[in-house]
Structure 1
């Protein structure tokens, strides 16, 4: 089957946390019989910060972030058996959704893939029936979400989605795996994440507060936007860390911290890609608490859960290298057994083939009538 996938970027993770997710899923789908073309706009300096070359398992079309550029790729949806519009492309999102739905063939499987369901659902509630996605939902066969669990499924179905299924983040063990420690990333606690309005207060609580409480420990923060943020003297800031360095980043500190954004934490059931990258590298993961975490990792054995910054500081103060290694190895074993992109790819493959068969049967029945 031919997939036309319209997303933010496959080639660059720069201001694009979904890149790892797209890569893991599409790389697994390709050998299952899919010919994939990924369409991404030349926007937000991502093409100047590519961290992979165009892959063998997907064709990539980079188009100008203009109305003419948009028109140049919309018509290509007509050649696809599966048309996917992802959330958060960042350029002409509404026009892109409406355009690919209109251009796709009636028998094609039409998918909206939401990589930030809490934010999208908040928009739907605020904008009402006039939101482009609300208008498009009756024409969509599937809504797939990066996370969110039952609350997101119920919300989407309440807005009229025919079917909503979470496809959670996962691990690609060929890409994220244990690696030798790198002195560039040496620390007692490291955190990797871009500075965003609905994350900053939680970073202050779960990362900067423990740093202040433990002035003799070394803290490391990577990600865009933190350069002018006031931080304790024992915090070192790196800036953007490309995906090629994530294994070394995760392997070089005593523990790695995951901090959910406000909206993700509120909805729950939303493990970030960082969770699986860190676990895949064998890192001892410390995470803020959110509903649904136990579906992915077991507290106290495969991950250390913190309710606030004081808990993070307590975990770090008590953590020995031996204990950190044991937690990291247990977390890695769990994600390798249950949370790989091979498993997620099998899930998506089943969903797409099921929907394709349903649409073929419906199309044949209408033709016979």
Structure 2
């Protein structure tokens, strides 16, 4: 298939979780013989931290504004089998208009931020990527979040066919590697700063750091404010490109996953970081949310905490127990949560959505 995508970014992993996911998924699709054209607006903050300039197995179309790319977008969609618009695409509304008018392409919307989308709509706020007609015009709506979110996409936004397409990891990129002294820590956390993760981060990371000044804590990420509640034993490394993630995850005793508030409240929302850390052989401590046990078995493949005291118990877990847990989680990820596995799932979903149109043709 020829698949045209209008997304947030695939060229820069700075400050967003979309890029790494798309890289893994596009690579998986290319290995299956599909061709992807990815349209990305040339945002200054991504241009300044661009860590991918070519799309193996596809084409990367970086453009300054919609007017400059509109005609090419129409041409690409006219010859495409599938056209996908994603959440947080800055030109999603314009792209949707073109995609819904496509003469032959299966029309898909992929919401990688479903709880945030639904939370904004509940408050009466515009999303910037879902128009006044909702999602009724799409042949297939994919959601990064499962569970009750799928029902809300149907009832609130008129989606006709909905399916989850969860996060994943490319084990060729994220794998165990030699530890680095730079990333040594008793507890590490890799993630962009987000206000709606801050309360959980303070409970599960900052408070344990205050209570254990002899331990070393490490944060890697971007956009952290100056008033973040640092302590002397919390160290910081700025934005790390995906190539450095394996060393980060492989160097600490335990790494923390914290889910954005809206996503945790809705559940069924495994972050890409969960799968990346597990693929790198890192023992994981996570906040809790509905559906987590469908991806990892708490106590055997992952540790779970909701309070500072529970986080402290997890941090004090013995090395042998952590190592056993890390091995079990890595085996689970390699069996169920790779980019190739998600690529296979996506192709199946697209073929099922295309079947009625192909039958009519």
- Place the TM-score, normalised by the shorter chain, in its bin: over 0.9
Structure 2: tracts of 5 or more residues without a match: none
Equivalent-residue separation in structure 2 for 1:195 and 1:138 (angstroms): 33
Name the CA shift for 1:30/1:206 in 2 (closer, same or farther; >3 Å).
same
Partner of 1:117: 114
Equivalent-residue separation in structure 1 for 2:16 and 2:58 (angstroms): 18
Instruction: Verify the 8 A CA contact 1:70 1:96 in the aligned structure 2.
Output: no
Please state how far the C-alpha of 1:340 moved relative to its aligned partner.
1.5
Partner of 2:210: 212
Equivalent-residue separation in structure 2 for 1:70 and 1:136 (angstroms): 24
Structure 1 residue matching 2:189: 3-state secondary structure: strand
Partner of 2:27: 27
Partner of 1:337: 335
Please state how far the C-alpha of 1:56 moved relative to its aligned partner.
1.9
Moved over 3 A (4+): 130-134
Structure 2 residue matching 1:138: 3-state secondary structure: coil
Residue 157, structure 1, aligned to residue 154, structure 2:
yes
Partner of 2:295: 296
Instruction: Verify the 8 A CA contact 1:145 1:168 in the aligned structure 2.
Output: yes
Structure 2 residue matching 1:3: 3-state secondary structure: strand
Please state how far the C-alpha of 1:227 moved relative to its aligned partner.
5.0
Partner of 2:62: 62
Equivalent-residue separation in structure 2 for 1:161 and 1:304 (angstroms): 36
Equivalent-residue separation in structure 1 for 2:187 and 2:150 (angstroms): 35
Equivalent-residue separation in structure 2 for 1:12 and 1:184 (angstroms): 23
Partner of 1:246: 245
Equivalent-residue separation in structure 1 for 2:194 and 2:69 (angstroms): 28
Alignment of 1:128-143 (within 5 A): 132-143=130-141
Equivalent-residue separation in structure 2 for 1:144 and 1:67 (angstroms): 24
Instruction: Verify the 8 A CA contact 1:255 1:283 in the aligned structure 2.
Output: yes
Please state how far the C-alpha of 1:192 moved relative to its aligned partner.
0.7
Equivalent-residue separation in structure 2 for 1:98 and 1:310 (angstroms): 51
Partner of 2:51: 51
Please state how far the C-alpha of 1:256 moved relative to its aligned partner.
0.5
Partner of 1:367: none
Partner of 2:306: 307
Alignment of 1:1-369 (within 5 A): 1-64=1-64, 66-75=65-74, 76-89=76-89, 91-102=90-101, 104-105=102-103, 107-125=104-122, 126-127=124-125, 132-147=130-145, 149-158=146-155, 159-226=157-224, 228=226, 229-317=228-316, 319-362=317-360, 364=361
Please state how far the C-alpha of 1:44 moved relative to its aligned partner.
4.0
Please state how far the C-alpha of 1:51 moved relative to its aligned partner.
2.1
Structure 2 residue matching 1:49: 3-state secondary structure: coil
Q: Compare 220-229 and 160-169 and name the one that shifted more.
A: 220-229
Equivalent-residue separation in structure 2 for 1:178 and 1:303 (angstroms): 17
Structure 2 residue matching 1:312: 3-state secondary structure: helix
Equivalent-residue separation in structure 2 for 1:73 and 1:193 (angstroms): 35
Q: How many residues align?
A: 357
Name the CA shift for 1:221/1:94 in 2 (closer, same or farther; >3 Å).
same
